[in-house]
Chains A and B, each alone.
Chain A
């Protein structure tokens, strides 16, 4: 294998890693959009919160009375952060977002944007914007593995696998289970689903909690790779929104595939023409908007 091929493969693997984060975040946005009909601008903030729950659970919980010496480890954080953030999401849905459904989706977008600014502003006030490293990576995930064509960090490989696993699991739940049939039906005609006796308001709360829980999960997985900072969500979510525009809202598999492909496209661009690596996704976005405004996997019914 020549040097160039190795370079390409290495960058593609790193791209796949980023793509897995794009996938899990845009998937959450798609699930939320399907039920709430709003674009959740607070998604990046919940991603950041997930990382902070992991970080603070590890470093700072031990100051609390009764928890002296407690350090939430990585595995615990993978479970607890999505739960905590998901519950917070449900609370926000019940107390705020819920009141806007009748007003059209622009209002939901503005509200969640405001929530994102508040959460991010609070954290910027108390934490270093340049980031704090998360040191609770388990030993088993340290080091590198030999992929044949390169040595790849074990943790990054793990983060690709676990993110794809979660994406696939979500897809299976939505497309293949009874609960998923309520969700799919709710996307099409929530009133009718409720008229059949399904507690749709509760289903919507749970969906929002689940969607932002996914973002928090991604935040925990990202914490050992990127440093944990109040603006990590903002940086990530701008790209993720471009991914969503390219993929089109509403299709779960579309969100996953688009996320992964665009991550790899970014990686590839780093080898071929590095200066464009940060903009290639936005370039794609413009092309897709011109050619197919509803996105690659979007259906017309979701277009405005």
Chain B
């Protein structure tokens, strides 16, 4: 097999994923370069969350190939994949109710050098500092989302898988998240973003993968976004 191209962070090829008896992904292929921000867009149930979860090995069974930093991960368990420098912010946010805010923040082990310090994170997210002793799920939805982001920024992960960050959040918080993502991009993070809020996605992303019924239907670079508007609307069913 050829060496990974320089600067390639993720390369999935012919990825199939199953939950029990249901076959959810049917041969997904995508690649993301270092420092790139891409989105997965598609209807509810099209398989975007499943793509993120299969990149991490969090599905019942997966076949095909997923290379992260050039390392083939298809047979690795999730904790080994995470240690390649992957941070995951799940759709349901995954804040632990039996852990304090600070424990939630400190939970993910450091996977690589160069993560943000706790002091820095408390500076960026002063609300978390203020409520650090409270139990995680006592936070508001927006604060929980900030916590879910903060805890993966501590670990030194350079590849971030972010699922529906803005779902159900107030516009001010969506704005704050947008600024945060933009900063992260400037800092060189590689991001795969699943996003309902198309405006949010459109302003940030370099490229868009349209997901439809467990397949990648289109890849649209940001330059082609305007001309592809109708096509996208059709896929999203709006």
Which residues does A use to contact B, with CB under 8 Å? 178, 181-182, 184-185, 187-189, 191-201
Contacts and interface: CB of A to CB of B under 8 A. Distances in A.
Interface in B77-126: 77-79, 82-83, 88, 90, 94, 96-99, 103, 106-109, 111
Nearest to A185: B96
B155 interface: yes
A185 B77 contact: no
8 contacts: A182-B107, A184-B99, A185-B98, A195-B58, A195-B78, A197-B111, A198-B79, A201-B77
Interface residues of B, number: 22
A249 to B, nearest CB: 14
Given A181-B106, A184-B99, A194 B78 contact: yes
- Would you call the interface of chain A mostly helix, strand, loop, or mixed? helix
A219 B155 CA distance: 42
A199 B99 contact: no
Nearest to A175: B98
A192 B106 contact: no
A184 B98 contact: yes
Interface of B: 56, 58, 77-79, 82-83, 88, 90, 94, 96-99, 103, 106-109, 111, 152, 155
A181 B107 contact: yes
A185 B109 CA distance: 13
Contacts of B94: 189, 192
Nearest to A182: B107
Nearest to B59: A191
Contacts of B98: 184-185, 187-188
A241 B107 CA distance: 33
Nearest to A181: B103
A50 to B, nearest CB: 30
B171 to A, nearest CB: 28
A197 B83 contact: yes
A102 to B, nearest CB: 8
Nearest to A250: B98
B56 to A, nearest CB: 5
Nearest to A188: B96
A62 to B, nearest CB: 45
